[in-house]
Amino acid sequence: MGRPIKGRGATGNPANRYQVHSREDFDDGWGNLDQPLPALETTLTVDKSRTVISYNDSPDVPFDRAINPYRGCEHGCIYCYARPSHAWLGHSPGLEFESNLYYKPDVADCLRRELAAQKYSCGPIMLGAITDAYQPVERELGLTRQVIELLAECRHPLSIVTKSALVERDIDVLADMARRQLAEVCISITTLDKELARKLEPRAAAPHRRLQSIERLASAGIPVKVLVSPLIPVLTDPELEQILQQARDAGATGARSTLLRLPLEVAPLFSDWLQAHAPGQAQRVLSRIRDTRGGKLYDPDFAQRMSGSGHYAELLAQRFKKATRSLGYLEPEKLDCSQFNKPSADGRQMSLL
């Protein structure tokens, strides 16, 4: 088991599944393991991907395409299902996922070419489906802003999912798109407990700031959903109704919830986190997770990976349904794809076709 590191979610750097060798801390008798770990710096590397729109045919997600300007995420959410993707880059899904970041400096140019392609057919784009498009480095690089401005230019619909208050920076563009039924924002709230959030999601916005973002976005006329996600058995599920209530009071009109997912390396990372931050609840939390996953910590079956199975999962689903109904949450209107106007590949003039 690793040790907590201030400002980071993971407690260590386990080897990824493609590595032949692994490393572990060793006490050499000098007491090094008792010393506080030094601050972990964030590094940035250029992502040289040729395309920026990623497609999926998963039957359990409400979109078929997404854009992620960044790989890795400095928010450091310990439960993040995207952590295993860092293994494809040769990194650990642990601390390296939240400190070794990749960015696409030409994301807007690549996107323009893809949207301009003759074969491209318009469909709502999800921004930040894997890693948060508004993580801290966005303040410096502004890549998400470039993507939104391009989508606004060619009237392409988009959804945004984030747990960052930085989304408020782009209210000017998003409000104009929303008036044309081209934009919606989903704010993720896992817990209202500030201290728990600091440990679960160390560099994401505090819960009260996310509620404030919902209020400011809604006041600007932008449709806002609250994502009570992930719902963590025992640890955060008692807050389900309270989160839905406060988000509704702030102006959210739609709501979704997904059960905690622990694919591949995320399961041991989360287990270590529990031992480090909530040892008294660790066994109960893991036991309840297994109750919702057929006795395992994770089941990738599309039919239940988002919602789980069994009595406990059904109870959570009933609570969510009852609360959203009583609070007046609605199914949001579909985004409008009919207004899309292909950009020119070089950015000089919009197509009239």
Higher-pLDDT residue of 81 and 346 is 81
Q: Tell whether the model's pLDDT for residue 209 goes beyond 90.
A: yes
Specify whether the CB–CB gap between 237 and 197 falls below 8 A. no
Residues 207/209/214/215 CA torsion (nearest 10 deg): 130
- The per-residue pLDDT for 331 is 86
Specify whether the CB–CB gap between 194 and 152 falls below 8 A. no
Read off the tokens for 173: 């563009």
Read off the tokens for 312: 């406990």
Q: Tell whether the model's pLDDT for residue 316 goes beyond 90.
A: yes
What rounded mean pLDDT belongs to the chain? 93
- The per-residue pLDDT for 347 is 67
pLDDT in tens, 73-111: 999 999 999 999 999 999 999 999 999 999 999 999 999
Gap between the Cα atoms of 27 and 104, Å rounded? 40
Question: What are the strands of the beta sheet with 125-127, ordered from one edge?
Answer: 53-55, 65-67, 125-127, 158-162, 183-188, 224-231, 254-259
Does the pTM exceed 0.85?
yes
Average pLDDT over residues 286-309: 96
Tell me: domain 40-259, CATH 3.20.20.70, correct?
A: yes
Domain boundaries, the chain: 40-259
Element (H, E) at 70: strand 70-71
How is 4-67 classified by DSSP, letter by letter? --TT-S-S--PPPTT-S--------SS-GGGSPPPPPPPEEEE---S--EEE---TTSS-SEEE
pLDDT band at residue 23 using 50, 70 and 90 as cut-offs: low
Average pLDDT over residues 259-287: 97
Q: Tell whether the model's pLDDT for residue 262 goes beyond 70.
A: yes
Map residue 159 onto helix, strand or coil.
strand
Gap between the Cα atoms of 226 and 236, Å rounded? 15
Q: Tell whether the model's pLDDT for residue 352 goes beyond 50.
A: no
How is 198-230 classified by DSSP, letter by letter? HHHSTTSPPHHHHHHHHHHHHHTT--EEEEEEE
Gap between the Cα atoms of 282 and 270, Å rounded? 10
- The per-residue pLDDT for 38 is 60
Amino acid identity, residue 305?
Answer: R
